[in-house]
Amino acid sequence: MYLRIIISTIMLLDMQALIKKISFAALTLTSLVSCGQGQSASKIEKMENNAKKMTGLETATFGTGCFWCTEAVYQEMKGVESVVSGYAGGHVPNPTYEQVCAKTTGHAECVELKYDPKVVSYAELLEVFFRVHDPTTKDRQGNDIGPQYRSVIFYHNEAQKNLAEKAIKELNASGAYAKPIVTEVAQAPTFYKAEAYHQNYFANNPDQGYCAFVVAPKVDKFRKVFKEKLKP
């Protein structure tokens, strides 16, 4: 299953570094680019509310770089009922975005998923995880550089740990990547929900510059590769 993964980075790197550092309010580059829309904010809100009433959901926590990208992809995946952006793996309680960006707290930008194992398996979540980012670059995704952008799988039980380690072993053995995978596999620590403006970021800001140049291509790529896993 994992052998189908081929990393194809579609980013305008020089623009990416510049865009993310500009204030969020100023990033409205609609005249420069038109991007695909993700799940609507109202649809996501309905999904999140429904998830609170559901039973039998399991939890997965992944870091693939900027959590705006990770969140937008998994929100479109069938069986994923809730996606929350936040911080995990550091040593400072309740960190702020500014503290995490300062690279002093040890946290990674992550998403915490609630998924229905009767609809989607953890192995399928892992397949998407390895497909939507480059797990061979330490503390970096494109021009997003720092420990907060590290590739990480925080497992919640031994079964998740074993599946994650098996996937990495198989991918390295297959030669799917030119370099060894550096994804960290660690027991899930305390997860701190990020600030409200980070939640459902792509859905709420589809024309913002970083979303248009970086997030949208990843979402479009996910839709093409995993058509059968998309929500209706």
Handedness of CA 94, 207, 115, 128 (dihedral sign): negative
Task: Find out whether 9 and 134 touch, Cβ atoms under 8 Å.
Answer: yes
Give the pLDDT of residue 55. 82
How confident is the model over 9-13, as a mean pLDDT?
34
Per the annotation, the verdict on 66 as an active-site residue is yes
How many Cα atoms within 13 Å fall on the side-chain side of residue 27? Answer: 21
Whether pLDDT at 3 is above 50:
no
CATH number for 62: 3.30.1060.10
- Percent of the chain's residues with pLDDT above 90: 75
d(CA 224, CA 165): 27
- What band does 8 get if pLDDT is binned at 50, 70 and 90? very low
Residue 232 lies in a domain: no
Average pLDDT over residues 88-115: 98
Q: Is residue 168 part of a domain?
A: yes
Structural domains of the chain, count: 1
pLDDT digits (tens, 9 = 90+) for 12-47: 333 444 445 443 433 333 333 333 455 677 777 777
Distance CA 107, CA 63 (A): 10
From the list 66, 69, 110, 211, the catalytic residue is 66
Place of tokens 């503290």: 99
H or E stretch at 82: strand 80-88
- Four-residue CA torsion sign, 139, 74, 116, 168: negative
The predicted structure's pLDDT at residue 222: 95
CA dist 188 and 148 (Å) reads 16
Q: Where are the alpha helices (DSSP H) in the chain?
A: 13-21, 41-53, 67-74, 97-101, 122-131, 158-174, 201-204, 209-210, 216-225
Whether pTM > 0.85 for this model: the answer is no
d(C-alpha 133, C-alpha 64), whole Å: 6
Domain that holds residue 23: 2-6+14-227
What pLDDT score was predicted for residue 37?
55
Tokens of 181: 């995978």
Task: Answer whether 130's CB lies under 8 Å from 2's CB.
Answer: yes
Q: Which residues make Cβ contacts (< 8 Å) with residue 202, sequence separation at least 6?
A: 38, 68, 69, 71, 72, 211, 215, 216, 219
The pLDDT of 78-107, averaged and rounded, is 97
Segment 159-177 shows an average pLDDT of 97
pLDDT 10s digits, 121-156 = 999 999 999 999 999 999 999 999 999 999 999 999
Averaged pLDDT, 145-169: 98
Task: Tell me what pLDDT residue 43 has.
Answer: 76
Among residues of the chain, what percentage have pLDDT more than 70? 82
86 lies in some domain: yes
pLDDT band at 54 (very low <50, low <70, confident <90, very high): confident
